[in-house]
Amino acid sequence: MSCLLRLTSVAPFLLLVRILRVLRALGHDVDWTAIWVSTRLSSATMIVLLVAGVPMAYWTAFSERRWKFLVEAVVALPLVLPPTVLGFYILVGIGPASPAGRVYARMAGHGLPFTFEGLLIASVLYSLPFAVQPFSAAFAAVDRRLIEASWSLGVSRAATFRRVVLPLSRRGLITGMVLSFAHTLGEFGVVLMVGGNLPGVTRTVSISIYDSVQALDYAAAWHTSLLLLAVSFAILSITYSLQKRVWAVWPMS
């Protein structure tokens, strides 16, 4: 039984190694520059959502405000809005005619649309519910009695959150981080509206696949799509595997 569990735990990593070996043989058909842009964008989006999403999720999980449902609805909007609609509003919101766009242009010397920075803002907003909702659900699932017991012992809210809530919510945190990364990796509509198609800057792997199909280069589209499918599957497999063991390696302090 122990051998089976050990094999299950390492299988996703072996799968990822196998995928990388196969892709190396297909390297001439894969747009590695677009893959690098997508990986960089997904990683940055995941980090921003971890920093900004945790406080937002904590508030939605524990706030007793009557109008909390309005904030939750705003966070969930990207789930139901067409990506092009969301991308259009983001483009208007960060464009040169908007206050935020003008302030950024004065500070940076260039506008936000069709830049990596603008693309990052759009990706964070587009993937917001994929991070905040798992975070919030994990926080809300923590036994309230444990939190109140910590408060009754004189522990501050910040320390209680760090020592009690966070360790008990680690599965939700991992899930939210992985979902935001994987969701950003496959963006298309929002990316195209806000970032355009600038090679090495805003051209992501999904746009590269679209361009390959438009050019009737089905071999490149097939291989790049296979890469995206395989890497996404490997990431999710590794995450689910780690979730089964993370309780044992992250003790509460």
H or E element, residue 185: helix 170-185
Q: Among residues 191, 186, 165, which one has the least CA distance to residue 236?
A: 186
The pLDDT of residue 25 = 60
H or E element, residue 45: helix 32-62
CA 252 distance to own-chain centroid: 26
Contacting residues for 46 by C-beta, under 8 A, at least 6 apart: 131, 177, 180, 181, 184
Q: What is the pTM of this model?
A: 0.83
Q: Among residues 161, 192, 168, 190, which one has the least CA distance to residue 247?
A: 168
- Say if residues 113 and 95 touch (Cβ distance below 8 Å): yes
Q: Which fold has domain 33-249?
A: MetI-like fold (1.10.3720)
Contacting residues for 147 by C-beta, under 8 A, at least 6 apart: 160, 164, 165
Domain range list for the chain: 33-249
Residue 171 pLDDT > 90? no
> 58 to each of 37, 124, 127, 192, 201, how far by Cα in Å?
31, 18, 18, 32, 34
Q: What is the radius of gyration, based on Cα positions, of the chain?
A: 21
pLDDT tens-digit series, residues 17-69 = 666 566 566 555 678 888 899 999 999 999 999 999 999 999 999 988 888 99
pLDDT tens-digit series, residues 159-168 = 999 999 998 9
Q: Confidence band (pLDDT; 50, 70, 90) for 115? A: very high
